[in-house]
Structure 1
């Protein structure tokens, strides 16, 4: 009986040690270079779940919150044509990492 319990405990420790040493999955990323996108408030315009008004871009139909630029970097977000009230166009360069867009450059395009 003691040998059975010892073998069972040894098996549990071996499985746990193997799980801890397994390789972690790499961060998923995609480089974006000078791509034309929609840009607006993620919560107000793209209906994303968030805690506050936050800048977001829509790349290939999917919205991503933006890191590296603030929603107010481009004027009053709650103004008549601000990101909380209107979707604009922008040319962006950066990288999508873990479902967030890490902005290197955002060039807001003039409204037509």
Structure 2
């Protein structure tokens, strides 16, 4: 009887250990194609936590830092109408992966007056 309890205990322990070390399932990327979004500095305009001024987009109400494009690729971010001082509109294509937007294309849209 003692050996049966020991075998059950060891079996349960090894099942638990396997569950804790199993690799986590990768989250599928969300593909974005020619969607109009807000674009600006994540820290200055979208109040995201970061280390420096960094380009971000707001897709479906959620902000994501951008990989593949730099904040100064579109002009001086600290200029009067730069991304640190104003939110602009852009048409974007890419993927949301691990809470970041992997940009394939960003096209700034003209400012509507």
TM-score (norm 1): 0.85
Q: What is the alpha-carbon distance in structure 1 between the residues aligned to residue 6 and residue 15 of structure 2?
A: 12
- Pair 1:30-2:30 in alignment: yes
Consecutive unaligned residues in structure 1, runs of 5 or more? none
1:19 shift after superposition: 3.3
Cross-structure match for 1:80: 80
Cross-structure match for 2:68: 68
1:96 shift after superposition: 0.7
Q: Residues 35-91 of structure 1: CA distance to partner in whole angstroms, max 9, x if unpaired?
A: 001100000001111111000001111111101100011111000110000000100
Cross-structure match for 1:41: 41
Tell me how large the CA RMSD over aligned residues is.
2.1
Q: What is the alpha-carbon distance in structure 2 between the residues aligned to residue 6 and residue 14 of structure 1?
A: 14
Consecutive unaligned residues in structure 2, runs of 5 or more? none
Alpha-carbon spacing, 1:20–1:82, altered in 2? closer, same or farther (3 Å) = same
Indicate the SS of the match to 2:95: strand
TM-score (norm 2): 0.85
